[in-house]
């Protein structure tokens, strides 16, 4: 699916700023870019339009030989993180150019993709918000049970997707409709109002909506 332009960054944490009317606005601080373009993909050559961008410089010993050649071809340094952004039209940028926070402005609506906080292995009540059984007479050791999960002879198995205990969190999450409150190019920082997924120092992808 084609997307609009975006940039990679790291979630530094939360703070608040004061609006013109004195109201306190909670914001998430994201240090984004500058992100060099390491590869340009086109419909003619690759079957789709996209930009591959990078973040976080790396030492040579931490980058494989194939990737060192890839970065050398792009004319950039060595980096740890790569992401690809599919575009609706033909890319207007070339390999080696950089994306910065100046592509955004205060008031822009964006969507942010990151990896949600991992909660470990959780029971069905916490993971799926089950109500549980009544804590009264007649119930013994089933208060947090999820009840029957199977069925009779036919089809004789548990259906895929049944809500049960399991691993919770640590998934790719995209939050839509977040608002940029301020952009500070001198610090490569974006202040975003809304729920930004992931932990502190987590990698996030910010895209225009």
pLDDT tens by residue, 69-102: 999 999 999 999 999 999 888 888 888 899 999 9
CATH 2.40.30.10 fits 1-33+101-133+167-209, yes or no: yes
Confidence of residue 197 (pLDDT cuts 50, 70, 90): very high
Select from 88, 91, 79 the least CA-distant residue to 35.
79
In tens, the pLDDT along 16-25 reads 999 889 999 9
Residue 112, SS3 per DSSP = strand
Residue 2 has pLDDT above 80, yes or no: no
For the chain, what is the mean pLDDT? 91
- Average pLDDT estimate for 162-167: 94
Residue 3 has pLDDT above 80, yes or no: no
What are the boundaries of each domain within the chain? Answer: 1-33+101-133+167-209, 35-99
> Hey, what are 120's tokens?
């470990």
In tens, the pLDDT along 45-62 reads 999 999 999 999 999 999
CATH code for residues 35-99: 3.30.160.810
What does pTM read for this prediction? Answer: 0.84
How many Å apart are CA 123 and CA 152, to the nearest integer? 25
Which backbone phi and psi does 27 adopt, to 5 degrees? -135, 155
The secondary structure element, H or E, covering residue 151 is: none
């Amino acid at each position: 699916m084609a997307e609009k332009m975006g940039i990679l960054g790291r979630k530094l944490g939360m703070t608040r700023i004061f609006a013109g009317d004195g109201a306190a606005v909670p914001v998430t601080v994201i240090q984004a870019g500058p992100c060099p373009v390491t590869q340009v993909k086109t419909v003619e050559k690759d079957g789709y339009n996209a930009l591959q961008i990078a973040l976080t410089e790396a030492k040579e010993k931490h980058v494989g030989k194939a990737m060192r050649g890839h970065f050398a071809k792009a004319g950039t340094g060595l980096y740890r993180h790569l992401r690809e952004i599919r575009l609706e039209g033909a890319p207007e940028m070339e390999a080696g150019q950089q994306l910065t926070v100046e592509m955004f402005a205060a008031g822009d609506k964006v969507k942010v993709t990151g990896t949600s906080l991992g909660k470990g292995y959780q029971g069905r009540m916490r993971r799926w918000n089950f109500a549980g059984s009544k804590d009264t007479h007649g119930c013994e050791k089933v208060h947090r049970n999820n009840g029957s999960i199977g069925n009779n002879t036919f089809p004789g198995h548990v259906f895929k997707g049944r809500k049960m205990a399991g691993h919770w969190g640590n998934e790719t999450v995209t939050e839509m409709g977040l608002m940029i409150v301020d952009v500070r190019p001198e610090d490569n920082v974006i202040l975003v109002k809304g729920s930004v997924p992931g932990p502190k120092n987590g990698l996030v992808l910010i895209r225009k909506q």
